[in-house]
Amino acid sequence: MRKPRRWKRVLIGAFAGCAVLADAGASAAAAAVSSEQLAISTPPAGSSAWVQDHSFGRSLPDPATTSPADAAAFFASLAPTELDRLVKQYPLVVGNYDGAPLDLRYRANRIALADERDAARVRAADKKLDADTRALAVSRANDVDRLLAPGRQILAFDPRGRGLVTEVWGDLADAERVSVVVPGSDADLGHFDQSAEPLRGAAGMARALYAEEQRQAPKTRTAVIAWTGYVTPSGLGPDAATSRLADVAAPRLQRLLAGLKETTRPDAPPALLCHSYGSVVCGTAAPKIPRAAASPSDTSGITDMMVFGSPGMGVQSAGELGGGVHVWATRNPSDWIGNVPFLEVGKLGHGADPTGNGFGAEQISSARAAGHNGYLTDGTDSLHNFAAISLGDYRDVVRAQPNT
């Protein structure tokens, strides 16, 4: 028993060590002390009371087992007064219910966010708590308060743990094209909006993509979703080297897509932009993403999956991801992730390099992008390509050239 555990520690150290050495801005000490995260796989807070509530004259559908299609049918059957009551009484349940009407979820999440902000402010003012706890409460209140700014559309919010949040740019209900940004490590409520370095946060990436889509196709109705809907690895610790968190995240991503199928009507399935560890999540989810095309020769129903800064997708080739996705991959030469071992030993590692010649992904240029977080910087080939692919303008995509 001791030998396998020792080798597990050695391999984890190798993965984290390579990443740290390659990233001049990372701290080896921080990587060493990064702790494993507790994945969230259960329904949102309030679900127990929800399923026990029979005051509507019928059972409320269990969030843990109800499909988005059945959820959509349930909410469509309710009168406006009943919907208002559910939003006010169970904002966390309604706000996180894939398949529920979009406007209803936005309303519910504003209530849930206000409740969390107010509770955090109470903790911050409680002199019985230690200084660190109060400081964390101040930070939480500020993070949540930013999401309550006018015009923000919060599709999901879960205050548990580090906090999960999903936001929408554009009119999601009316969009012709929908894109979903799936971020990697350290994505959570506290890192969702980053003013100093916006592209390090999911919100900044989504804003940049939405702006580029509008620039390329101003007459096309688009929407972009920043999906921080799973517990991500923290730092470069053990979680970054395994698929444990991705295994829990993948069904949540699949459920999001199933919910969008009920509440949106884009011309093509939502495109996925999978950054860093997010590409592990996308790779894990891919085999169960259905092909919506009417015939094998029809490619309009295939999900475009763009992976960038990827440590691997948990497979050795794109062919293992199923017929429902078309994979596009890129990595710029200055991205430190290229120095992480692309291998899989037991449950450690994430498989082959998606940008490798034998993987089978379509290689696209990321010229002028720099570092691990610079792929959506204005003027880069990668941002241009992500928007073109999301819009379905495949002839406008710049393919990869040597040393780009």
183 and 297 housed in the same domain: yes
Q: How far apart are CA 354 and CA 361, in angstroms?
A: 6
257 and 198 housed in the same domain: yes
Q: How far apart are CA 156 and CA 403, in angstroms?
A: 40
Give residue 1's pLDDT.
37
Joined tokens for residue 329: 């991959």
> Looking at beta carbons, which pairs linking 343-346 to residues 24 or more positions away fall under 8 Å?
344/312, 344/314, 344/316, 345/11, 346/8
pLDDT in tens, the chain (404 residues): 334 444 344 344 445 444 433 343 444 334 444 478 999 999 999 999 999 999 998 899 999 999 999 999 999 999 999 999 999 999 999 999 999 999 999 999 999 999 999 999 999 999 999 999 999 999 999 999 999 999 999 999 999 999 999 999 999 999 999 999 999 999 999 999 999 999 999 999 999 999 999 999 999 999 999 999 999 999 877 899 999 999 999 999 999 999 999 999 999 999 999 999 999 999 999 999 988 765 555 566 899 999 999 999 999 999 999 999 999 999 999 999 999 888 777 678 899 999 999 999 999 999 999 999 999 999 999 999 999 999 999 999 999 975 44
Cβ(227)–Cβ(256) under 8 Å?
yes
Give residue 296's pLDDT.
56
84 and 119 housed in the same domain: yes
Domain span including residue 20: 2-27+160-396
19 and 69 housed in the same domain: no
373 and 259 housed in the same domain: yes
- Main-chain dihedrals φ then ψ at residue 70, nearest 5 degrees: -70, -35
Report DSSP letters for 153-181, one per residue: EEEEEE-STT-EEEEEEE-GGG-SEEEEE
Q: List the beta bridge partners of residue 302.
A: none
Q: How far apart are CA 370 and CA 167, in angstroms?
A: 26
Order the strands of the 362-363 sheet from edge to edge.
153-158, 164-170, 222-228, 177-182, 271-275, 303-308, 325-330, 362-363
Give residue 349's pLDDT.
87
Give residue 295's pLDDT.
55
Give residue 270's pLDDT.
98
Give residue 24's pLDDT.
34
pTM comes to: 0.91
Q: List the beta bridge partners of residue 153.
A: 168
In a domain, 236, yes or no: yes
Q: List the beta bridge partners of residue 181.
A: 226, 273
85 and 209 housed in the same domain: no
Answer with the one of 140, 175, 195 that is the final residue of a domain. Answer: 140
207 and 329 housed in the same domain: yes
In a domain, 38, yes or no: no
Answer with the one of 105, 140, 175 that is the final residue of a domain. Answer: 140
Considering its fold, how many domains does the chain have in total?
2
Give residue 23's pLDDT.
40
In a domain, 169, yes or no: yes
Q: List the beta bridge partners of residue 328.
A: 306, 362
In a domain, 150, yes or no: no
Give residue 14's pLDDT.
46
**Within 178-306, where are the H helices?**
202-216, 244-263, 278-285
Q: What is the CATH number of the domain that holds 389?
A: 3.40.50.1820
